[in-house]
Amino acid sequence: MGKTVYMPDSTLSRKSHISSMAQYLDMYKSSIDTPEEFWGDIAKQFHWETPASPNKFFSYNFDITKGPIHIKWMEGATTNICYNLLDRNVKSGLGDKIAFYWEGNDPDDYSRLTYRKLLEEVCRFANVLKSKGVTKGDRVAIYMPMILEVIIAILACSRIGAVHTIVFAGFSADSFAERMLDSKCKVVVTTDGVWRGQKLLCLKEICDSALERCKKLGHEVETCIVIEHLPRLSASQNRNGITEENGDISPEKRNAFGSKIPWTEGRDVWWHEEMEDASTSCYPVWVGAEDPLFMLYTSGSTGKPKGVLHTTAGYLLYAASTFKYVFDYRPGDVYWCTADVGWITGHTYVVYGPLANGATSVLFEGTPFHPDNDRYWLIVDKYRVNQFYTAPTALRALMKFGDEPVKKHSLSTLQVLGSVGEPINPEAWHWYYKIIGHEKCSIVDTFWQTETGGHVITPLPGCTPMKPGSATLPFFGVLPVLLDENGKEILGPGEGYLVFRRPWPGIMRTLFANHERFETTYFKKFPGYYCTGDGAHRDEDGYLWVTGRVDDMLNVSGHLLSTAEVESTLSAHPSIAEAAVVSQAHPIKGECLYCFVTPNEDVEFSEKLTDELKRKVREKIGPFATPEVIQHAPGLPKTRSGKIMRRILRKVAQNDRDIGDISTLADEGIIEILFQNRIEIK
Ligand code: WT7
């Protein structure tokens, strides 16, 4: 590791915000030595209705043995994020600038929104929310596709101090219900449906079952606001999008889809009807620096999702500065992040970061494969994209089709290529660098988490020499440390637990309504540090190489999942006695789910059963969680105390007979049977 180094292109270096390692090191040092001054300077570009108290700019406790964990930035200050993203930019002359180019699933569908128009729409929707009784601190759930209204909904919440909780529209009704229940949201915003490639997703139907389930579990959402999206799509979308699932819907019917969707009078209202008379001005609600901005659920290793809570001032500073420096965004550039707003990447790098910088972005509704496998590259050329940000899993899926689909396009405007979600394998890195970037773009392999709010370990374009597969060095204000099993710091080269010694402005503040879980999950194992749950290796140059999760979590196509979550879904099936799930390498998804199930005594293991189990996981968690393999396990390897030895199951999944020490195993006989039943991943 660490041999091949790629230097940033000199043309890029000359004009970039941070153009040398000396400059980076200098700024890094001041961000660590004098954080108040460093972030205070960054804060100057924003509007603060009340300034921060100078002696309370930054305070924290990361050591659980000394008292409760707390993190505070800019205490005493009041502001409004929406005001900073929209009003401030409009006032400074960016009113007519495009905030978003919207590109639909079908290439015939596209539109755009200027900063001024976005502000008007946000005000209108903020007034709609107010009319539904939403006030500061109330939670609003958002279950929407990648359309302009999702941006409007998000910013309308922040304008009135409401806390948005976006649920990725690929989550099942059950997962959605669980999140609405935990967040006790008052209002939900959704859409009739959306086309993704050739598939029609009926979001309102899923939303309805989720609302019903949530009500049964004891929480009733008062209002459901529905955007009518399908009828306004181009005819070609409706013509092309015939699939098996919806082949019986004639185009006429589908155009009238809006009137056919399930409806609950008194609870459901149409977005366009509510917006009609709403005023285009809405005074922003000034909120405290540490008031909540949003919460976003992420998988927890116990199976119950964690409501990661981010607050206002620190998040704004961090989203804005990471966006500016990591993508080296300059006025006039066009930026495109392919992530869905349902994930943290979408929050920080589709919405908050770009708008805080007055940037122009592309918002894309579709998939990289529709109508053809060159859709991404077509869009890059169409909008002359300068910074492009995507996930390794997407790159690997596209690499399969070879270089031809890429070579049809010039891609000459690209300067920075970002990667996020999982370690990027060197093969994908090289493809990205050579075929997409023509060896003149910087690759920024950004390591971060829902919890970190923004990039924490990342190269800077035009500055950091790159090594394929390494996220390189810390961003400003971030102090990474590697610890050994005993919590001792590893200095110099080595491998260990990746932790952080000090908070940066964008780190989460708590888990919603569960500060105790926040403390145990992230601060208990190694007092004094924030524990990422990842392992990492540091090379001779001090570069960090994230090696992956050290807990029972896995990363499927950049989506974090817990094995416990899938295990409990499988074992809840009436025919299943027990289930154990391990992560297994997958050529495209990075990792996938390899499941072992023990059926009940009288149950036969069949294809029908495996199909049912897969469907169950899909329904319970979401399609991205569908198991790759379900293997019959007449028994599971267990210790004498009854603990499942997942280490051995991992070996079976990998077909690695070198299983190590099995002295604690209760029944050795089962191992051979498991190897014989093993299923190869296609
Ligand atoms: C986990 C966080 C950050 C937004 C998307 C995922 C893995 C993420 C990288 C990277 C190696 C990475 C880690 C991390 N991860 N980016 N560049 N290199 N690993 O957010 O769902 O909170 O997942 O994704 O394992 O802990 P998330």
pTM above 0.80, yes or no: yes
Distance (Å) from CA 447 to ligand 1 centroid: 6
* Sequence-ordered alpha helix ranges (H) in 132-197: 148-159, 173-183
Atom of ligand 1 nearest to the CA of 344: 4
Q: Which of 602, 668, 607 is nearest to 632 (CA)?
A: 607
Q: Which of 345, 419, 447, 458 for mutating ligand 1's site (highest number of atoms within 8 Å of CB)?
A: 447
Shortest-distance Cα residue to atom 20 of ligand 1: 449
Tokens matching residue 596: 């072992």
> Minimal CA–CA distance to 441: which of 21, 16, 8?
8
Q: Is 555 within 8 Å of 590 (Cβ atoms)?
A: yes
Q: How far is the CA of 544 from the centre of ligand 1 (A)?
A: 14
Q: Which atom of ligand 1 is nearest to the CA of 451?
A: 22
Report the C-alpha dihedral over residues 150, 156, 162, 168, rounded to 10 degrees.
0
Q: Whose CA is nearest to atom 6 of ligand 1?
A: 421
What digits encode the pLDDT tens for the residues 427-475? Answer: 999 999 999 999 999 999 999 999 999 999 999 999 999 999 999 999 9
Name the closest-CA residue to atom 2, ligand 1: 449
Q: Give the burial string for 222-236 (b: 16+ CB within 10 Å, else e).
A: ebbbbbbbbeebeee
Question: What is the DSSP code string of 327-367?
Answer: TT--TT-EEEE-S-TTSHHHIIIIIIHHHHTT-EEEEE-S-
The pLDDT of residue 243 = 43
Whether the bond between 465 and the residue before it is cis, its omega within 30 degrees of 0, is no
* Per-residue pLDDT reduced to its tens digit, 236-248: 676 555 443 443 3
Output the CA 411–ligand 1 centroid distance in Å.
27
Spatial contact of 165 and 380, defined as CB atoms under 8 Å apart: no
What residue's CA is closest to ligand 1, atom 13?
Answer: 422
Ligand 1 pocket test: pick from 341, 546, 589 the residue with the most ligand atoms within 8 Å of its Cβ.
546
Q: What is the pLDDT of residues 47-84, one digit of tens each?
A: 999 999 888 999 999 999 999 999 999 999 999 999 99
Q: What is the 3-state secondary structure (H, E, C) of 44-81?
A: CCCCCCECCCHHHCEEEECCHHHCCCEEEECCCCEECH
In the chain, the N- to C-terminal Cα span, in Å, equals 29
Task: Determine contact, residues 642/607, Cβ cutoff 8 Å.
Answer: no
Instruction: Supply 374's token pair.
Output: 């060159």
Q: Provide the ipTM.
A: 0.99
Least confident of 165-169, 202-206, 557-561, 647-651: 557-561
Amino acid at 498: L
Phi, psi of 251 (to 5 degrees): -55, -35
Q: Which protein residue has the closest C-alpha to ligand 1 atom 7?
A: 422
How does residue 538 score in pLDDT terms, banded at 50, 70 and 90? very high
How many A from CA of 50 to the centre of ligand 1?
A: 35
- Cα separation, 616 vs 614, in Å, equals 5
Q: Model confidence over 597-640: pLDDT tens digits?
A: 999 988 999 999 999 999 999 999 999 999 999 999 999 998 77
DSSP 465: P
Distance CA 638, CA 659 (A): 14
Residue 497 Cα, ligand 1 centroid: separation in angstroms? 15
Contact 216, 207 (CB under 8 A): no
Compute the distance between CA of residue 571 and CA of residue 573 in angstroms, rounded to an integer: 5
Ligand 1 centroid to 282 CA: how many Å? 37
Closest residue by Cα to atom 16, ligand 1, is: 421
Quote the Cα angle for 36-38-44, to 5°.
90
How close is the Cα of 531 to the center of ligand 1, in Å?
A: 13
Q: Are strands 387-390 and 110-114 parallel, antiparallel or unpaired?
A: unpaired
pLDDT at 578: 87
Q: Say what percent of the chain tops pLDDT 70.
A: 96
CA distance 289 to 273: 34
**Nearest atom in ligand 1 to 447's CA:** 17
**Which of 263, 106, 283, 107 is CA-nearest to residue 192?**
263
Between strands 334-337 and 387-390, the pairing is parallel
Residue 130 alpha carbon to ligand 1 centre in Å: 36
Average pLDDT over residues 560-581: 89
- DSSP E strand boundaries for 133-252: 139-143, 163-166, 187-191, 194-196, 199-201, 223-227
Residue 380 has φ and ψ, to the nearest 5°, of -60, -45
Domain 10-235+253-534 matches domain 557-677 at the CATH topology level: no
User: Contact at 8 Å (CB) between 200 and 231?
Assistant: no
- Cα torsion at 394, 397, 400, 401 (round to 10°)? -70
Residue 596 has pLDDT above 50, yes or no: yes
- Please give the pLDDT value at position 477: 98
Question: What is the pLDDT, as a whole number, of residue 238?
Answer: 64
**659 pLDDT band (50/70/90 cuts)?**
confident
Model confidence at 501: pLDDT above 50: yes
pLDDT for position 640: 73
- Band of residue 14 on the pLDDT scale cut at 50, 70, 90: very high
Asked whether the beta carbons of 87 and 116 are under 8 A apart, the reply is: no
Q: Kindly give the number of the ligand 1 atom that is closest to the alpha carbon of 299.
A: 21
Phi first, then psi: what are they for 255, rounded to 5°?
-65, -30
Beta-bridge partner residues of 200: 195
Residues 196-203 have a mean pLDDT of: 93
Distance 345 CA to ligand 1 centre (A): 10
Task: Note the pLDDT of residue 3.
Answer: 66
Please report the pLDDT score of residue 20 as a whole number.
97
Cross-strand pairs, 195: 200
Query: By alpha-carbon position, which residue is closest to atom 5 of ligand 1?
Result: 421
Cα of 560 vs centre of ligand 1, distance in Å, is 8
Cα-to-centroid distance, 108 and ligand 1 (Å)? 34
- Protein residue whose Cα sits closest to atom 21 of ligand 1: 560
Kindly indicate the confidence band of residue 551, based on its pLDDT and cuts at 50, 70 and 90. confident
From 167, 168, 340, 422, give the residue whose CB has the most ligand 1 atoms within 8 Å, as the site to mutate: 422
- Phi, psi for 78 (deg, rounded to 5): -125, 150
d(CA 85, CA 115): 9
- Residue ranges with strand state E in 475-567: 480-483, 494-500, 510-511, 530-538, 544-549, 553-556, 559-562
| Tens-digit pLDDT profile for residues 88-117 | 999 999 999 999 999 999 999 999 999 999
> Domain map of the chain by residue range?
10-235+253-534, 557-677
> Which mutation among 352, 420, 424, 557 tests ligand 1's pocket best, with the greatest number of atoms within 8 A of CB?
420
Distance 49 CA to ligand 1 centre (A): 35
Phi/psi zone of residue 170: left (φ > 0), alpha (ψ -120 to 50 degrees), beta? alpha
Best residue among 166, 352, 429, 449 to mutate for probing ligand 1, ranked by most atoms within 8 Å of CB = 449
Average pLDDT over residues 492-511: 96
Residue 664 confidence (pLDDT): 75
> Superfamily assignment of 10-235+253-534 in CATH?
ANL, N-terminal domain (3.40.50.12780)
Q: In angstroms, what is the span from residue 515 Cα to ligand 1's centroid? A: 23
Distance of CA 39 from the midpoint of ligand 1 (Å)? 25
CA of 9 to the centre of ligand 1 (A): 27
Residue 253 pLDDT greater than 50, yes or no: no
Residues near 545 by beta carbon (within 8 Å), at least 6 away in sequence: 1, 423, 469, 470, 471, 536, 537, 538, 539
Most informative mutation of 560, 561, 565, 624 for ligand 1 (most atoms within 8 A of CB): 560
- Confidence bin at 1 (pLDDT 50/70/90): very low
Residue 464 contacts residue 441 (beta carbons within 8 Å): no
pLDDT tier, 644 (very low <50, low <70, confident <90, very high otherwise)? confident
What is the rounded CA–CA span in Å between residue 362 and residue 372?
Answer: 19
Residue 553 alpha carbon, nearest atom of ligand 1: 25
What separation in Å is there between the alpha carbon of 143 and the centre of ligand 1?
Answer: 22
Ligand 1: atom nearest CA of 450 is 22
Query: How many angstroms is it from 448 CA to the middle of ligand 1?
Result: 5
Token pair, residue 154, equals 């998000």
Closest among 76, 70, 6 to 466, alpha carbons compared: 6
H-run or E-run covering 430: helix 426-431
For residue 679, the model assigns a pLDDT of 93
Topology at the third CATH level for domain 557-677: GMP Synthetase; Chain A, domain 3 (3.30.300)
Over residues 255-302, the pLDDT tens digits come to 444 457 899 999 999 999 999 999 999 999 999 999 999 999 998 877
Orientation of helix 173-183 relative to helix 607-620, angle to 10°: 30
Q: Whose CA is nearest to atom 12 of ligand 1?
A: 422
What is the pLDDT, as a whole number, of residue 234?
A: 85
CB-defined site of ligand 1, < 6 Å: 298, 343-345, 420-423, 445-450, 471, 532-534, 546, 548-549, 555, 558, 560
Separation CA 340–CA 167 (nearest Å) = 10
What is the 280 CA–ligand 1 centroid distance (Å)? Answer: 39
pLDDT at 252: 40
Report which protein residue has its CA nearest ligand 1's atom 23: 449
Rounded Cα gap, residues 455 and 453, in angstroms = 7
Q: How many residues can be counted in the chain?
A: 682
